[in-house]
Structure 1
């Protein structure tokens, strides 16, 4: 499993209806993309849910590197880059996944990234993060991943309603979820 995200921060007075319409008209295009576990179409809007910015920040869990490559070199990412400029794409290696009891489409997401201290054992940090994956009735899906270049630990969760107050990290609204191969992502530890 591979996790991936890019963030497009928009001006404070940007008409976020443009992003909403883009998701409404193009979101379905990845509903059957080979190798894609899930794509959460994430949005932050200045003044909502404590967000200081307007941002389009989709998050992906890829089942295969081939699927991720096909997307990055394909027409969808090319179109996004033509409209907004080519964003930096963050990438993490998947370490674990938990599916929650919530069914249906998620409404919110949380993402927390933290640098591991130089003296930290990465394997222990990952084990601790996996053990601490949320066990909540509103949880749809949660994942842990690591960027071994920056030694950054990532926690990501999708929620059926509002994310619990105890869920740490940046909060997003989910405007669409493409999940063609979510059921094929292995649950539990990935290493």
Structure 2
């Protein structure tokens, strides 16, 4: 599993209705994309749920690197580049994935927590704890799925969860969910990724 996200931070007075309309018109285009486990179309609005910014920030879980590469080098991502410029694409190697207690619920919010990993932290212990925490998070009432990964370039731990509640009970950045494409969600490996 590969986790991926890019953030497009927009001006404070940007009409976020433009992003909602964009997703309403184009979101379905990845509903059957090969190699894509889940794409969650996310946004934050300045002043809503503590967000300091207006931001469009889709989050992906890929079942294959070929699917991820096909997206990045293909027409879908080139549309983002054309309309907003080329964003930095963040990438995390999968550590764990868990289906939630409400896997078929309607997604309303997502929470992303990013934690720096200190140089003295033993990586095997950290990965095992992160996988156990992902299992616990996935079992929380209202969670559709939870995942975690590590960026070995910056040594950052990512924890991501998708919620059917508009007010999720997890710490981190809270996003509104505009659409979910999940053509190969059933192919995402469950549990630890090693």
Q: 1: CA distance between counterparts of 2:167 and 2:38?
A: 19
Structure 2, unaligned stretches of length 5 or more?
A: none
Q: 1: CA distance between counterparts of 2:141 and 2:105?
A: 13
RMSD: 0.9
TM-score (norm 1): 0.97
TM-score (norm 2): 0.96
Structure 1, unaligned stretches of length 5 or more?
A: none
Match of 1:33 in 2: 33
| TM-aligned CA deviation for residue 162 of structure 1 | 2.6
Structural mapping, 1:4-83, within 5 Å: 4-83=4-83
| TM-aligned CA deviation for residue 163 of structure 1 | 4.2
- The structure 1 segments of at least 4 consecutive aligned residues displaced by more than 3 Å after TM superposition are none
| Paired residues of 2:109 and 2:168 also in contact (CA < 8 A) | no
Q: 2: CA distance between counterparts of 1:73 and 1:169?
A: 30
Residues 160-182 of structure 1 deviation map (CA, whole Å, 9 limit, x = unaligned)? 113433x1110001000000000
2:148 partner SS: strand
1:175 to 169, 173, 178: 178
Q: 2: CA distance between counterparts of 1:184 and 1:108?
A: 23
Structural mapping, 1:41-190, within 5 Å: 41-102=41-102, 103-133=104-134, 134=137, 135-165=139-169, 167-190=170-193
| Paired residues of 1:5 and 1:89 also in contact (CA < 8 A) | yes
| Paired residues of 2:39 and 2:181 also in contact (CA < 8 A) | yes
Q: 1: CA distance between counterparts of 2:179 and 2:133?
A: 27
Worse overlay, 12-21 or 99-108: 99-108
Q: 2: CA distance between counterparts of 1:31 and 1:9?
A: 25
Residues 96-146 of structure 1 deviation map (CA, whole Å, 9 limit, x = unaligned)? 101002123311000011111110011211111111121212010000101
Number of residue-to-residue matches in the alignment: 190
| TM-aligned CA deviation for residue 71 of structure 1 | 0.2
2:158 partner SS: strand
